[in-house]
Every structure is written in structure tokens, then in C-alpha cells.
Chains A and B, each alone.
Chain A
């Protein structure tokens, strides 16, 4: 791989071990994909809490403040967890605080969200923004036209440390045309909610072999943001899709021809009632209808979502615990609007955490004996990770069904009438 003189010195350890190790990882990864060179980043995004402590220490060793911006993924909140009586919360405190202190020393910005675009931090078309989190990777690629390749949490730290990323995959414009075409067949989407789009995205992700871009046609033009986002972010959960063009909605897909780069698709994936029904069933992993926890905000909730949940919870009391994953600024806006108070009065909680992989209520290694043994969600991503990472029962349904489950403690969700 071609390296500039400065990059060679970074690799040789002239700027310390952290930069050396980071550069070594980027170069090895780039070489395995025949990348010609590294490219400078517009900004980068890491996760300090998901990063193992030994890896974090090794890769940030002697690293000075970076000239480029770095932001961060959803975080842990051991103090809040303790306040809520979660038995093993204390185990997480020291490591979290140490990594956070180092993070701030690096001059990095404490955004703590997987939906930074809601804070006004979003890429412009063509920006190169290596990042942790397959969910924001696919959102930034698809909804904003950023050039983001698929990348892991550890590699994204290396990219943030070096301010470089290998010129490979979706960073290269000609790799961004869709190779797979999704056609909706005989599906009326007029009454679809976010959960329906999550379900569709989850099915598409499972059908695409590999990680080439996808184009989805047949949806109404200018699909509302929440729906477009739900559709694209579910794909890298069941698969590895990191760029999905929604024809008539996303910036690189004004037409189908533009999304395909005037090429013929390698594969056509047809989705009808049967596929939707089977996927909805697959996302439900439960036997007994008792619900102990309800989670929203995967990806982090928009203000509209919080407003709808608050409207459904007005004057109600919850039987289950409820977590809404949201960034601190969006939570502040919800508080200003009076919605956060309604939700908290009912018994719900907000956290700038990942409510799926790091949900403190469903994780046995955080909640201990207080662990909820079942959770309801309207996010396919949450359903997938809560079932697998936390090993508890999962109910998947609409926002309204989930709120009802939180109030009654019972699951009354129904299979949608696919039209």
C-alpha cells in the first residue's frame, strides 16, 4: 500500500506506540482488501465503552490531541444504573470513568449517540467518516451520502487515532452503485409504522449475500425520515449491507438507474406478504406472554418518536421497566416539551445508551438478579440483539403494542394484516 512519508513515520512508531499500533491495523486491513492508499478523514466516531480496556489503552497510548474531530457512540451510565438498583452496576464504574477521562483528554467530543445527525453533526455528501456502529454507518451512507465503509469498533478507534482510513469499499465512489435490487410485490404500505420498516429491512439484510449496496424500489417518494432510517438500519443486523439506496428518497437514488449506475442488478430480491409475515414471526422469540421490560430508541429516538410515546403514556403507570435510548440533547428537548416528564412519571427512563446491546435492564452482567427475562420492542435491531446477546424472550411489534405491553405487563401484539 502506498504510504506518505508522514504515514510511514506513524507506522514506524515515530509518534508513539498508540499511533504505531493503529497504523499497523489500518495498513493490514487495507492490504487485505488491496487498498491503494489511506485517505484523510472528515471526522471520525468511536466507542470507548464498547472497546475492551486493554485494547483502548494500547491504541490510545501516547496519542496527543487530534487535529480532526472525533465523536462517540452511546455510552454506559453506571451511576444511573446504581440509582435504579441494578445489582452489578458498580462493576462497570471504574473502567467507564477511566476510559471517559482519557477520551476527553484526547479533545474528543462527548456526543454519546448512534444518531449524531439529530444533533446537527452529520456528514455532507462525499465526506469520509470512518465510524463505529453499523447502524450509523448505514444511516450516514444511505441517508446523507457520506463515504463510510463497513468497519468494526476496534478499527474505528485506529482510524480516529490516525485520522486516516483505507481507500476501500464504499469510500470508493464506483463501489457505491447497487448490485442488488429489492422489489416490493403486492404490498400496500399505506398504514405501515416504523416496526414494519424495521421488519422489511431485517428481511432484506438476510437476503443479500455479502456487503454490496442495495436499491429498494416501490416505496412512496420522500419516505419520512423515521421510516427510511428504520429500513436501512435493520439491514446490517441480519446481514452486512452498509449502503441502501431508497429510490426516490435517498441522495444517491433520485432514480433507479442512478442507484444502479445504469447497470443491471446481479440479483433481484422480491418481498411480498409471505416474506413479511415470516420475518415478523422470526423476530418474536417468546413462549409466555409476560412482558417485564419495554425498550425504544434503537437507533436513538427522534423527538417525534418520544412525542408519540409520551402521548400514549399520558396519565398511565407502567407495570414493566421502560428504557428509551436517546442522546442527551434530544432528551433535553423532550424535557422542554414536557414529554420526558410524562414518560418518567409513568415509570420510563432515558439513557444515552445502546438500548439493545448494552440495555442495563436485560443484561445479566449489569442487572444481576434484577434482570428482566423478557422485553418488547418495535426495533428489529433491538429484538435481534436482546434475544441473542442478553438471552431473554423478545416480543416484536408496533410502538403502540409495546406501550400497551408496558402498561399491562402482557403481550397482546398481533401479526399485521398484510394488505
Chain B
């Protein structure tokens, strides 16, 4: 199944989905050394985003999110690709600068359609999300 979306950051990547119905900040939510969600009391606390396709609503938090994303990427602990409902400038700048393939504004609600654990391919440059199966 293919879903059309809007390119934020070019490239292509694939992996298992981690779906979170809420906003995300690279700085504070993600430990750039381990790639695990580190925010106390976060619904995904302790879960790994390493090489995952991370699906969430939008970005939030400090303008330091892009340097945190840069650190995670350099440590090999960043998500493989990102799908969000609507990006915002800090998140977009972070994924463009660190070259994490990212799309937003998918034509259907991916938070309902994609389940954690699904295998997803993100063709960001073409603006296509491919659901490869469970």
C-alpha cells in the first residue's frame, strides 16, 4: 500500500515503525547516546528509536533539537526515517541538516493506519510512504 505525503527532507529509508500519538523533541525526549526515549514518564520511556521509522504528530521543544539530532545521527542512534502529521521549522531544520529522510502531511491518518512494529519504507524524495506489511 502506498500513501502520498509531502517531502520535508530528501532521501529514502525503511524500518520497523514506532508510532506515537503526540509531539516529539530530539532534545529531551531522546538520549542521543543510546537512542532510547529518556523523558521521565514519557509513554515510550525506554523504547529505542534506532533505525526505526518514527511516526508522530509534530515537533516541539527547544531550538537545540537540531544539535541533538546531529549527535544522535553521528552516534548511529537516530531514527532511519520520520513521518509526522505536520512538521514545524525546528523539526524540519533538524532532519534537513542531519539528512534524515522525512515526510509530513500524509493523505491519510498514519497514526491510525500504521501500527508499531509494521515494516515501513519512506521514499521521502518522491513523497511516498510504502507499507510493506506486518
The reply to whether A29 and B40 form a contact with Cβ atoms under 8 Å apart is no
Q: Which residue of A lies closest to B88 (CB)?
A: A211
Contacts of B92 in A (CB 8 A): 29, 32-33
Q: Number of residue pairs across A and B with beta carbons under 8 Å? A: 122
Query: Roughly how many angstroms separate A389 CA and B26 CA in the complex, as a whole number?
Result: 11
The answer to the question of A357 belonging to the interface, with a C-beta cut-off of 8 Å to chain B, is yes
Contacts of B86 in A (CB 8 A): 210
The answer to the question of A100 belonging to the interface, with a C-beta cut-off of 8 Å to chain B, is no
Contacts of A168 in B (CB 8 A): 89
The reply to whether A388 and B28 form a contact with Cβ atoms under 8 Å apart is yes
Chain B: minimal CB distance from A384 (Å)? 7
Per-residue contact bits, chain B 96-130, to A (CB 8 Å; 1 contact, 0 not):
11000000000000000000000000000000000
Contacts of A29 in B (CB 8 A): 89, 92-93, 96
Contacts of B96 in A (CB 8 A): 25, 28-29, 32
Q: Which of A2-10, A117-125, A234-242, A325-333 contacts B (4 or more CB under 8 A)?
A: A234-242
* Choice from B58, B62, B70, B71 contacting A236 with Cβ under 8 Å: B62
The answer to the question of A156 belonging to the interface, with a C-beta cut-off of 8 Å to chain B, is yes
Known A-B contacts A29-B96, A52-B70; A240 and B63 likewise in contact (beta carbons under 8 Å): no
The reply to whether B65 and A152 form a contact with Cβ atoms under 8 Å apart is yes
The reply to whether B40 and A388 form a contact with Cβ atoms under 8 Å apart is yes
Contacts of B61 in A (CB 8 A): 134, 236-240
Contacts of A33 in B (CB 8 A): 89, 92
A50, A154, A156, A205: residue with the most chain B Cβ atoms closer than 10 Å:
A154
Per-residue contact bits, chain A 153-185, to B (CB 8 Å; 1 contact, 0 not):
111100000000000110000000000000000
Known A-B contacts A388-B29, A388-B40; A25 and B93 likewise in contact (beta carbons under 8 Å): yes
Number of interface residues of A (CB under 8 A): 43
Chain A: minimal CB distance from B57 (Å)? 7
CB-contacts of B1-19 with A (<8 A): 6-9
Chain A: minimal CB distance from B17 (Å)? 21
Contacts of A51 in B (CB 8 A): 67
The answer to the question of B27 belonging to the interface, with a C-beta cut-off of 8 Å to chain A, is yes
Query: Roughly how many angstroms separate A209 CA and B39 CA in the complex, as a whole number?
Result: 19
Query: Roughly how many angstroms separate A29 CA and B10 CA in the complex, as a whole number?
Result: 11
The reply to whether B60 and A152 form a contact with Cβ atoms under 8 Å apart is no
B residues contacting A by CB (< 8 A) are: 6-9, 23, 27-29, 38-41, 57-67, 70-71, 74, 86-90, 92-94, 96-97
Q: A25-B97, A205-B60, A236-B61 are in contact. List 10 more A-B contacts (CB 8 A).
A: A52-B70, A52-B71, A152-B90, A155-B66, A156-B63, A211-B88, A238-B61, A240-B58, A388-B28, A388-B29
List 24 contacting pairs A-B, 8 Å CB cutoff, sorted by A. A29-B93, A29-B96, A50-B67, A52-B67, A52-B71, A54-B74, A137-B63, A151-B90, A151-B93, A152-B63, A152-B65, A152-B97, A155-B89, A209-B57, A210-B58, A237-B62, A238-B60, A239-B61, A240-B58, A282-B41, A357-B64, A385-B62, A388-B29, A389-B27
